[in-house]
Amino acid sequence: MKAIVYERYGSPDVLELKEVEKPTPKDNEVLVKVHAASANAADWHIMRGEPFLVRLMVGGLLKPKIKILGADIAGRVEAVGRNVKQFQPGDEVFGDISDCGWGGFAEYVCVSEDALVLKPASTTFEEAAAVPLAAVTALQGLRDKGQIQPGQKVLINGASGGVGTFAVQIAKSFGAEVTGVCSTRKLDMVRSIGADQVIDYTQEDFTKSGQRYDLILAANGYHPILDYKRALSPEGIYVCTGGSMAQIFQSMLLGPWMSMIGSKKMGNLAAKSNKKDLAFMKELLEAGKVVPVIDRRYPLSEVAEALRYLEEGHAQGKVVITVERNNKT
């Protein structure tokens, strides 16, 4: 089978399209013919081995242990191991396979059945592949850490990216009044996915407007943590899922201390792939409450280009890899 393989950490130039052995499922595994995958910031961090901490997290201090990147997949079950209960050949599935060895940038991958959920019939493989990691991050940030409630004023900083476009739609589905922060060129798109208000961060700093929010999800960008705190209502919650290293470290190191003083809660989320949460996202897709925003599609042979583009940090929604050309649902 064809796969995008890398043997050393570095720029997208280290990625090569190679012919490798097609995997065989173990007893508890499912062999999936990948129709589409999607790219996440985690792919390029692990490709570069930067920050160094990711090498400790995924293994491979000097050389990558994971040889084929790609966490998000959608495809068709081709074969199942003898202990697999939930799927059979022909099923259309999607999932985040980062907990079972990665490998989505390939024609086939073997994964635990626990990583997969049946794909909604009305969702294309490309749309489904866009969902798992980014949407589950947004869901866990808003619902679990952020304790989102109907009627709350919720602000998403970085509303136009992979996580942000899901966060806006998920927050709306919970009945919140949503403000999306993005740059000028993306205001219309963020409005079109349901944001009640949009703020152009090139024109206005929302932390200085005097407006207060019950929940702020920082999906991207940077503001000092004290500025986020100021923009919260008295019982407000701030959840950082991404953005600059300074933003992430401030939320991790200072957030817990700041939460001890007063009634505002400040913190960080490291999302965990979770089948129940993906099944929850499946329901939102089926109900039409969430529609993945796809910015660009690249063929498997151009994963390096896809990651180069994503790494620039200006994607509008998700970047998808089309692995199987005949991609009808």
Ligand X SMILES: NC(=O)c1ccc[n+]([C@@H]2O[C@H](COP(=O)([O-])OP(=O)(O)OC[C@H]3O[C@@H](n4cnc5c(N)ncnc54)[C@H](OP(=O)(O)O)[C@@H]3O)[C@@H](O)[C@H]2O)c1
Query: Does the protein bind ligand X through residue 95 (CB under 6 A)?
Result: no
Query: Does the protein bind ligand X through residue 243 (CB under 6 A)?
Result: yes
Query: Does the protein bind ligand X through residue 137 (CB under 6 A)?
Result: yes
Of the pair 245, 260, the CB lying nearest ligand X is at 245
> What is the SS3 assignment for the chain?
CEEEECCCCCCHHHCEEEECCCCCCCCCEEEEEEEEEEECHHHHHHHHCCCCHHHHHHCCCCCCCCCCCCCEEEEEEEEECCCCCCCCCCCEEEEECHHHCCCCCECEEEEEHHHEEECCCCCCHHHHHHCHHHHHHHHHHHHHHCCCCCCCEEEEECCCCHHHHHHHHHHHHCCCEEEEEECHHHHHHHHHCCCCEEEECCCCCHHHCCCCEEEEEECCCCCCHHHHHHCEEEEEEEEECCCCHHHHHHHHHCHHHHHHCCCCEEEECCCCCCHHHHHHHHHHHHCCCCCCCEEEEEEHHHHHHHHHHHHCCCCCCEEEEECCCCCCC
Q: Which stretch in 105-113, 120-128, 230-238, 306-314 sits in contact with ligand X by CB under 6 A?
A: 306-314
Compute the least distance from the CB of residue 142 to ligand X, in Å.
Answer: 13
Compute the least distance from the CB of residue 312 to ligand X, in Å.
Answer: 8
Query: Does the protein bind ligand X through residue 38 (CB under 6 A)?
Result: no
Of the pair 12, 164, the CB lying nearest ligand X is at 164
Could you say which of 302, 316, 321, 323 contacts ligand X (CB under 6 A)?
Answer: 316
Query: Does the protein bind ligand X through residue 186 (CB under 6 A)?
Result: yes
Could you say which of 102, 125, 174, 201 contacts ligand X (CB under 6 A)?
Answer: 201
Q: Which stretch in 7-15, 66-74, 235-243, 321-329 sits in contact with ligand X by CB under 6 A?
A: 235-243
Query: Does the protein bind ligand X through residue 315 (CB under 6 A)?
Result: yes
Q: Would you tell me which residues interact with ligand X (CB under 6 A)?
A: 40-41, 133-134, 137, 157-158, 160-164, 181-183, 186, 201, 219-221, 241-243, 269-271, 310, 313-316
